[in-house]
Amino acid sequence: MNILIFGATGMVGQGVLRECLKARDVGHVVAVGRQSTGIVHERLSEIVAPDLTNLAAHRDRLAPFDACFFCLGVSSVGMNEADYTRVTYDLTLSVARLLVRENSQMVFTYVSGAGTDSTGEGKRMWARVKGRTESALIALGFKGAYMFRPGIIQPMHAVRSKTPAYRATYALATPLFGVIRTFWPRSIVTSEQVGLAMLGVARRGYARAILEVPDIQEAARVQ
C-alpha cells in the first residue's frame, strides 16, 4: 500500500507514521503538513505546504494512494465556533474533496473524538463541528471513509505532543494509564493501536464507518 498522512508531526500522527513505516505491506508514505517531520526513512517523503487549504500545486503527488490517514486537529479551547469550523470542517473537507476528485478508490480515515455529535446539532460546540465533518466525509464518495473516535490516547514509543501543556498533562497522567485500562478499558487506546487500526481498515475495511474505542481496539488486533 501507498499511504498519505496529514498531520504526521502531531501526537496521533507520529504514532500512525511509526506503524506505517514498520508495516511490511506499506511501500511508500508521504507526510503532508506545515512543517517537516524531521524523520529520514527510505520509504518516507514529505510535502511541506504552509497553506493546507491550497494544495492544487501538489495535486499530481496526492493522487496515487491507497489510503489517506487524516490526523490533523486542534483543541477547541478558547475558540469560537466560526474559527473552529474553519480549521476543522473547512480544512478537512477542502483536502478530502481534492483527494476524492483525484482518486475515489482511496480509503480515507479521519481522527475525530469520543463524544462527537453525529447530529451536528448538540450543545457542545466541538462535538457539533466534528459531527458535521464526519457526516460530510462519509458522504463524499470514497471507497471507504472511516471516522476514528478515540477517547484517552496513551502515547507510546517516544510519541509526544507538540503542545507543552499537553506534554505536561500526559507526564502527570502516565501513572494513571494502567488504572484506566483496568477499570475503564473501553475509554483508552494507545497511539500504537490507533496506527494499527488505521492500517487495518485500509487493508480490509470495517463493518461500521464510525469506530469508537472498542472498534479501534478490535481493528488494531486483527492484522
Show the cell assigned to 125: 460546540
Q: Say what the pLDDT of residue 184 is.
A: 80
Q: Which amino acid is at 3?
A: I
Of the two residues 187 and 39, the one the predictor is more confident about is: 39
Of the two residues 85 and 173, the one the predictor is more confident about is: 85
**Closest-CA residue to 72 (of 114, 20, 34, 28):** 34
Q: Which amino acid is at 160?
A: R
Could you tell me whether strands 2-6 and 28-33 are parallel, antiparallel, or unpaired per DSSP bridges? parallel
pTM greater than 0.75 (yes/no): yes
Is the pLDDT confidence value at 180 over 80? Answer: no
**Closest-CA residue to 87 (of 98, 101, 77):** 77
Is the pLDDT confidence value at 205 over 80? Answer: yes
- Per-residue pLDDT reduced to its tens digit, 153-167: 888 766 766 655 555
**Range of the structural domain that residue 21 is part of:** 2-221
- Per-residue pLDDT reduced to its tens digit, 73-106: 888 888 999 999 999 999 999 999 999 999 999 9
Task: Give residue 169's pLDDT band: very low, low, confident or very high (50, 70, 90).
Answer: low
Q: Say what the pLDDT of residue 215 is.
A: 97
Q: Look at residue 40 and give its three-state secondary structure.
A: coil
Domain tally, the chain? 1
Q: Say what the pLDDT of residue 6 is.
A: 97
CATH of the domain at 162: 3.40.50.720
Q: Which sign does the torsion angle of CA 153, 66, 38, 90 carry?
A: negative
Q: What is the mean pLDDT of the chain?
A: 91
- Per-residue pLDDT reduced to its tens digit, 20-35: 999 999 999 999 999 9
